[in-house]
Amino acid sequence: QKEVEQNSGPLSVPEGAIASLNCTYSDRGSQSFFWYRQYSGKSPELIMSIYSNGDKEDGRFTAQLNKASQYVSLLIRDSQPSDSATYLCAVRGSGYSTLTFGKGTMLLVSP
Amino acid sequence: DVKVTQSSRYLVKRTGEKVFLECVQDMDHENMFWYRQDPGLGLRLIYFSYDVKMKEKGDIPEGYSVSREKKERFSLILESASTNQTSMYLCASTLTGRTGELFFGEGSRLTVL
């Protein structure tokens, strides 16, 4: 059974701070890792993907991957109230497989 | 602008009714998926399809079936709705080789009484 674990939160940070969202996964053969953002009452949207160990930056977002530790994280710099949402970690195993989603971490950014 | 359209945003059905949820995408994607999302349980895959007339079971296929007669359309069928199928249903699509990059529809909230 492939598992993806996230702290459900809520994670509360003040505006302008760095928000750190974490995810662990059980399938050591996993190859691809994704972060989706889901606003309340809306559907998920892809914000980051990462495929190799290390950091990947896109604007205020940085995804970090450590395959040896089976750990992936998302950092949001200069957090804004508009970043308040649930963040879903998703993992794709080896081969032609579907995504396994974590249950999500709710982020609250206070003005 | 890419789009995945689900036919009904809100449905209320009675136990035992047959329910059809329709999904259409305009991106010429080969792959289409049906998920349900429940509080505390997250997104769970019901069925998916990699091609026309082809279907594969996901993690929770019991009580559901699907149909894909055309590339752009993927239907989820509840043969006999039950109260435990009350949920938010999300359709998604993606290109072959990019199965992690899902485009989701707006969702269909189904209530079974």
Question: Which residues of chain A from 29 to 48 reach within 8 Å of chain B, CB to CB?
Answer: 32-34, 36, 42-46
Q: Is the pLDDT of residue A97 over 80?
A: no
Tokens representing residue B38 in the block:
């429940």
Specify the 3-state DSSP secondary structure of B94.
Answer: strand
Residue in A43, A49, A98 closest to B104 by CB: A43
Strands A54-58 and A4-5: unpaired
CB contact under 8 A, A103 and B101: no
- Is the distance from CB of B48 to CB of B34 less than 8 angstroms? yes
d(CA B93, CA B72): 9
Specify the 3-state DSSP secondary structure of B113.
Answer: coil
How far, in whole angstroms, is CA B93 from its chain's centroid?
10
Min distance B39 CA to chain A CA atoms (Å): 9
User: For residues B52 and A8, which has the higher predicted lDDT (pLDDT)?
Assistant: B52
pLDDT on residue A93: 82
Confidence of residue B112 (pLDDT cuts 50, 70, 90): very high
d(CA A79, CA A85): 12
Per-residue b or e along A59-80, where b marks 16 or more CB atoms closer than 10 Å to that residue's CB: eebbbbbeeeebebbbbbeebe
Confidence of residue A8 (pLDDT cuts 50, 70, 90): confident
pLDDT on residue A96: 61
A51 touches chain B (CB under 8 A): no
- Of the candidates B31, B8, B4, B15, the residue with the CA atom closest to the CA atom of residue B88: B8
CB contact under 8 A, A98 and B58: yes
Mean pLDDT of B71-82: 97
Looking at chain A, the whole-number percentage of residues with pLDDT higher than 70 is: 97
Residue in A49, A88, A102 closest to B101 by CB: A49
Q: Which residues of B touch A98 (CB under 8 A)?
A: 33, 45, 48, 58, 99
A42-60 confidence digits (pLDDT tens): 999 999 999 999 999 999 9
Q: Is the pLDDT of residue A71 over 70?
A: yes
Mean pLDDT of B47-75: 95
pLDDT on residue B62: 96
Chain B positions touching chain A (beta carbons under 8 Å): 33, 40-43, 45, 48, 58, 90, 99-107
- Of the candidates A100, A92, A87, the residue with the CA atom closest to the CA atom of residue A22: A87
A10-31 confidence digits (pLDDT tens): 999 999 999 999 999 998 889 8
B1-57 confidence digits (pLDDT tens): 669 999 899 999 999 999 999 999 999 999 999 999 999 899 999 999 999 989 999
